[in-house]
Amino acid sequence: MILLTIMNIYDLTVLDTKKQPVSLAEYKGKVLLVVNTATGCGFTPQYEALENLYKKYKDQGLVILDFPCNQFGQQAPGTEEEIVSFCQLKYKVSFPQFAKIEVNGENESPLFTYLKEQAPTEEYKGIKGKATAAMLKGISKTYKKESDIRWNFTKFLLDREGKVVGRFAPTTKPEEIEAEIVKLL
């Protein structure tokens, strides 16, 4: 078996919502916010804030990449078509959405393997955030090691060279990282 070394995010290919391959090299030179999402999650309303950030900064080079994940409480049960329809109707999502993936375990997406290697932990702020982190760790069936994703709406921020510059907990609202995004633009 030959193992390929991933040098950067642009070496990876993912599937779009129609299961067609998309090279992440298409996003070279852009500031990326990569998010694992779900349509039936307590954090699902973050789609609105994500769309607001995207509309505000897309012309300056921000791209949000949405990867639905059904690993946490079966909170993304629909087909790709149903997920896209829900997101467009409820939150007017216009940023790129992709096929459902796994973010932890033996079938995890190479994209999330790479992201977790680059930023192995996220910070949960305040008492409420730390309590949520402990709760998510306890209920997540796929959380096995510290670098694993605890729940949906974990966010990875990448600069224009594809370097991961931050990992943010599901409890971190998108607007809370706006200043960090602006610095990269």
Predicted local confidence at residue 48, as pLDDT: 98
pLDDT at 47 over 50: yes
pLDDT digit string, tens, across residues 112-123: 999 999 988 777
pLDDT at 157 over 90: yes
Question: Confidence class of residue 158 from pLDDT cuts 50, 70 and 90?
Answer: very high
pTM score above 0.95: no
Annotated active-site residue in 24, 32, 33, 41 = 41
The residue with greater pLDDT, 6 or 29, is 29
Question: Confidence class of residue 136 from pLDDT cuts 50, 70 and 90?
Answer: low
Contact between residue 141 and residue 25 where contact means Cβ atoms under 8 Å apart: no
87 has catalytic annotation: no
Contact between residue 98 and residue 37 where contact means Cβ atoms under 8 Å apart: no
**SS3 annotation, the chain:** CCCCCCCCHHHCEEEECCCCEEEHHHHCCCEEEEEEECCCCCCCCHHHHHHHHHHHHHHHCEEEEEEEECCCCCCCCCCHHHHHHHHHHHHCCCCCEECCECCCCCCCCHHHHHHHHHCCCCECCHHHHHHHHHHHHHHCCCCCCCCCCCCCCCEEEECCCCCEEEEECCCCCHHHHHHHHHHHC
Average pLDDT over residues 54-81: 93
Predicted local confidence at residue 2, as pLDDT: 41
pLDDT at 130 over 90: no
Q: What percent of the chain has pLDDT over 90?
A: 71
What fold does the segment set 32-184 form as a domain?
Glutaredoxin (3.40.30)
| 62-68 vs 13-15, strand pairing mode | unpaired
Which residues share a beta bridge with 155?
Answer: 35, 168
Q: Where are the domains positioned within the chain?
A: 32-184
Predicted local confidence at residue 12, as pLDDT: 95
Predicted local confidence at residue 121, as pLDDT: 79
